[in-house]
């Protein structure tokens, strides 16, 4: 079998430090990947005048698997979000965001193991919106849900649940008010769920879901929902296990997949050796699982679990007093 090449976008701000940590850890675990480094975001804009150069798009398409640090989208007119562009360009319709409790974090809860699956290309983020009155006082936006789009994301969720021996899929919606869009999503979800008799399908309205996640998060297993609800709920879930430093995400399409930290470039701590690299390490674990390299994934997860539980050289957000490089050294020693 030929060696897998991974496209690596180190990203902006804290991106390079945490992505480099993850690459050292992948190598130490014996993953034997080739890496093709390309730029995007502010780094690319400064080098090439383009936020998302053609060479980067070519590498993502060619290698199929990408590991990506956070990117800064400059504020202002004319810059569309790079992440949204990547999701649309490569039809990365599924955003998979797992959260698990690690002993030793400052999280409020224990025993949480939830995967949120967010539809990544439709809904309120379809991109159709404008100010419609001349005085600028009225604006509108269109939410688009298609039967095909709803079916493929719900099927993705049930297939994932079956593959990972999970018991329940909660379909989150607002079909009582948004009767057309959320209504169609729920209708299709019920049809798909009927094909998976081995998995319990639960329906829950999004506002109740927020309360339930805070009151009793252990009841959730897999959540599947539309774009905007998934965006918000997955950050809520990250908060349940200790914050964004512990939250990875995978953007998966038919052909390509991009694995990333879900937080941003953290300009407040960039260049200070303070960032927690766990988010990108967890994204690498997701990448290994996607590639069928379960043993390596388990090995890295065991090292991460031990470093955090023992508090050995952990970063400030985890209650420690160390930096990115010390945390990485503690991981490398265990591997």
The answer to whether 260 contacts ligand NAD (rule: CB under 6 A) is yes
How far apart are CB 317 and ligand NAD at their closest, in Å? 4
The answer to whether 275 contacts ligand NAD (rule: CB under 6 A) is yes
How far apart are CB 10 and ligand NAD at their closest, in Å? 12
Residues from 44 through 73 that contact ligand NAD (CB under 6 A): 70-73
The answer to whether 266 contacts ligand NAD (rule: CB under 6 A) is yes
Q: Which residue in the list 12, 39, 125, 312 is annotated as catalytic?
A: 125
174 is catalytic: yes
How far apart are CB 131 and ligand NAD at their closest, in Å? 23
Q: Could you tell me the two tokens for 151? A: 């079916």
* Residue among 30 and 271 whose Cβ is closer to ligand NAD: 271
Q: List the one residue from 170, 279, 284, 286 that touches ligand NAD (CB under 6 A).
A: 279
235 is catalytic: yes
How far apart are CB 327 and ligand NAD at their closest, in Å? 10
* Residue among 55 and 244 whose Cβ is closer to ligand NAD: 244
Of 54-62, 234-242, 269-277, 300-308, which part binds ligand NAD (CB under 6 A)?
269-277
Beta-strand pair 139-144/94-100? unpaired
326 is catalytic: no
The answer to whether 43 contacts ligand NAD (rule: CB under 6 A) is no
207 is catalytic: yes
Q: Which residue in the list 68, 174, 296, 299 is annotated as catalytic?
A: 174
Residues from 295 through 324 that contact ligand NAD (CB under 6 A): 317
How far apart are CB 244 and ligand NAD at their closest, in Å? 5
Q: Which residue of this chain has its Cβ atom nearest to ligand NAD in the complex?
A: 264
How far apart are CB 283 and ligand NAD at their closest, in Å? 10
Three-class secondary structure assignment of the chain: CCCCEEEEECCCCCHHHHHHHHHHHHHHCCCCCEEEEECCHHHHHHHHCCCCCHHHHHHHHHHCEEEECCCCCCCCCCCCCHHHHHHHHCCCCEEEEEEECCCCCCCCCCCCEEEEEEECCCEEEEEEEEECCCCCCCEEEEEECCHHHHHHHHHHHHHHHHHCCCCEEEEEECCCCCCCHHHHHHHHHHHHHCCCCCCEEEEEEHHHHHHHHHHCHHHCCEEEECHHHHHHHHHHHHHHCCCHHHCEEEEECCCCEEEEECCCCCCCCCCCCCCCCHHHHHHHHHHHHHCCCHHHHHHHHHHHHHHHHHCCCCEHHHCCCECHHHHHHHHHHHC
Pick from 75, 120, 126: nearest CA to 252: 120
- State the number of binding residues for ligand NAD (CB under 6 A): 21
Q: Residue 144 and residue 156: Cα distance in Å, rounded?
A: 19
93 is catalytic: no
Binding interface with ligand NAD (CB under 6 A): 14, 18, 70-73, 83, 244-245, 260, 263-269, 275-276, 279, 317
State the catalytic residues.
125, 174, 207, 231, 235
């Amino acid at each position: 079998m030929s060696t897998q090449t991974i496209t690596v976008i180190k990203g902006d701000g804290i991106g390079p430090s945490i992505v480099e940590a993850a690459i050292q850890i992948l190598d130490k675990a014996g993953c034997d990947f080739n890496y093709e480094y390309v730029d995007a975001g502010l780094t690319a804009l400064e080098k090439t005048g383009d936020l998302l150069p053609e060479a980067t798009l070519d590498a993502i398409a060619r290698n199929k698997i990408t590991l990506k640090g956070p990117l800064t989208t400059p504020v202002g007119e004319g810059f569309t979000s790079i992440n949204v562009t990547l999701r649309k360009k490569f039809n990365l319709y599924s955003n998979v965001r797992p959260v698990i409790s690690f002993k030793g974090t400052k999280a409020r809860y224990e025993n949480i193991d939830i995967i949120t699956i967010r539809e990544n290309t439709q809904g309120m983020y379809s991109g159709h919106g404008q100010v419609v009155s001349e005085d600028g006082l009225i604006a509108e936006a269109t939410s688009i849900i298609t039967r095909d789009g709803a079916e493929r994301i719900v099927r993705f969720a049930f297939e994932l649940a079956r593959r990972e021996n999970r018991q329940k899929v909660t379909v989150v919606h607002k079909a009582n008010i948004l009767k057309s869009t959320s209504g169609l999503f729920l209708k299709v979800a019920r049809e798909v769920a009927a094909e998976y008799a081995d998995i319990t399908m639960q329906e829950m309205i999004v506002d109740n879901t927020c309360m339930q996640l805070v009151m009793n998060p252990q009841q959730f297993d897999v959540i599947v929902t539309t774009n905007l609800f998934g965006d918000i709920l997955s950050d809520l879930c990250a908060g349940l296990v200790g914050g964004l430093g512990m939250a990875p995400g995978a953007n998966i399409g038919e052909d390509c997949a991009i694995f990333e930290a879900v937080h941003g470039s953290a300009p407040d701590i960039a260049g200070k050796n303070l960032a927690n690299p766990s988010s990108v390490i967890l994204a690498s674990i997701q990448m290994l699982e996607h590639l069928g390299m379960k043993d390596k994934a388990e090995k890295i997860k065991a090292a991460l679990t031990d470093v955090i539980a023992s508090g050995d050289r952990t970063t400030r957000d985890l209650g420690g007093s160390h930096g990115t490089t010390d945390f990485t050294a503690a991981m490398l020693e265990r591997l």
